[in-house]
Structure 1
C-alpha cells in the first residue's frame, strides 16, 4: 500500500484510475488500493530518501491518527469503487482482513486497561491461573512476542513503545469508532497543522483524563490492598493477587508515559535544527576564531568555539563552513561558557542570499548524514527508555522562561 509520504506515482497510472480517490477523508491508502484492484503494481523501496515533518502537538498527533483510522475504515464501504474482495489476490485480501481487524485494536486495548481494575474492584477475574502457571505458560509467550515483534518488523517498531502508542490512542479512537460504525462518512478533522509555534506548556487534560483516572484508580486499589495486608484485613496476598498487581503496575506505567507525552512543550524555533557537527571559522571584526557547529538549521546555528576563554565583543560575525565551502553573515543571540573554557554561541543568520540558502538546504537535506538513518531500537533499549522517561519526567518538571 501507499502510505502517502515520500512516494512517486506515474501520472499515466493515476489518470487511468481516475485520479486520487477523494470519497474517503484520506486518499493515499485508498488510491493505492484502487490501483491494485485495477492491476497496477506498488513497489516498496527500502531506503531512506527524504525527510518529512511530523506533528508538533499532542492534539494534532491524535487528530491525525483519528483521520487515518476513519479513512482506513471507510475503504471497506467503497466496494463498488474499490472491489477489494473480488479483484485482489488472496495475499492482498489477507492484508485487508488484518487491516480491518486492526481498526478495532482500540477496543482490545481499552479492555486490557480496564480488566485488572474491574477485577480488583469488583472481584471479576478475567483469568483463572496460579502464579506458577502464569510464569510457565504466559511469560515465555510474552517474551517471545516481544522479541519476534522487533525482529519481524526489522526493528522499525518497538513492542513497548507500540504499547504506549495504543494506550495514548485507545480512548479517543473508541469515540471515533463509535461515530464511524454508525456513520462511516461522517465529517472528519482537517489536514494536520505544520510549523506551529507555542510559548508555553499545554497539558491537554481534556484528552488524557481517562488515563489520569486510570492511574488514580490503580494507585488507590494497590494502596488499599497493601494497607489491608499490613492491618491484617487480608492475611496475605494470594497468587492471583500478585499477577493482578503486576498487571495494574504495567498498565500504570503505560498510562503514566502516555500522560507525560501529552504535555506539549514550548515550540519557539521557526526552523527545525539538526545535530550536524562540522568545522567552521568565525570571523569577527578584529580576530578569527575556530570551532564547530553543535546543531544547524536554515536560519541559525549553535557553535562551540574551541579557543579557551576568549571574549566576543561584537554582535555580528561571519561564519565559514569549511567542509562545505560557503559563508553566511550571522548575529550573536547569546553565548555562555562551557567546560574546558569553550564558549557556546547561538547564532541567527542574517541577509541570506539565494545561493547561501541553497547551500544550507543541500547541507541539511541532501546528504545522507547519520541522524537521517533509520533508528533500530532493541526491546531492552526501548523498555529502559520508558523507565527513564517516567523517572526523569522532563516534560512535567522542566521549566521554561
Structure 2
C-alpha cells in the first residue's frame, strides 16, 4: 500500500516538532513491530514533573560522531582569510569543541600547502589524540589489492571498524552478490585478525529488488524478482562473524520511497514497503555504525527527500533509535552530503555540524527507574 503524503506543515511548527523529537510512532509501525516480536516504544516526551521516570540519552555522548565527508570542503581547503578552520588540525579541533567524540574518515588528504607536503596517518592520529577524538571507521576502497594497506592506516588511526562508502556490488543479480560475499568474507577474516570489523555502507539501490526469477534474457539472466532485496540477500551470504553493516538512515528511507514494486515470476506487479527500523532491529548486532542523515520529504524529487541538518528534517530518529537496540552498542555519525556552502558560505558545513550535534544530543528516551 502506498503511503499518503502528509499535509504541508508550517516551517516553524516542523522545526519545533523535529528538533524536540516528539513524533509518535504510527499505529501501522507499532503493529508491524509488535508482530515481529520487537518492542513498541512511545516516542513522546512525558510531561515535566512525571514521577518515576528517568531520562537516558538515545545516543550516548561518547558515541556521537561525524563523518568528515560532511566537512570535506574545510578539510581540503587551502589556508585562507575567511576565519573558518581548514585542514585536519584546525577542523578536528573545531569538531571536538562542538562536542563530537568520534570521527569517521572519508580520505586522509588535506591541502599540501598547509605543511608543504601531504599529512601522514601518524600526524592525523596525534591530532585525534590531542583533541580527545576516536576514529570509529572509514570510507576506503575495499578490494583484495589494497586491503592490507588500508588496514595499516586504520590501525595507525586506532579504528575498530574499517569500511567503504559503497555497496559490495551494484549488480541486480544473485551470482554477483554471491561473488561479493566470498570476497567480503575473506577480507572480513583478515580484518578480524587485526582486531577490526569490516563493514559496508548502503545507498538506496542496495535495498532495491534482486532479479532472481525467470523468464531469462538472451544472456541467461533473470528478469523478474522473488521480492528479496539485494542487501537482504547479502545478509544471508555474508558471514556474521566477519561482515558488518553501516546503515545510512537517509538512504534507507529513500529506498522506502523509491523501491516499493517488483514484478514476480508470473508477471504480476507486487508491492512491498521497506521498513528501515525492522531491517535493523531483526539483526541489530550486525549494524555497529549508522549515518544519522536527515531529510525533508518532497515527493516531487526523485529520491523523495531533500537532505537537511540532523533534526531539521522529517525522519523520525527518535523512533528509530529507541527501537533498534542497545544505545551503547552503536556509533552514530552525522552526515550531510550537501553541507558544504562553497565560496559564498565557507562556514556552512561546520555550522551545520554544530546544529546537528545539538539536535543529536537532545534525543532522549524516558524509562521507569529507581
TM-score by length of 2: 0.24
Greater Rg over alpha carbons, structure: 1
Bigger strand share: 2
Larger RCO, structure (CA 8 Å, separation 6 or more): 2
Bigger helix share: 1
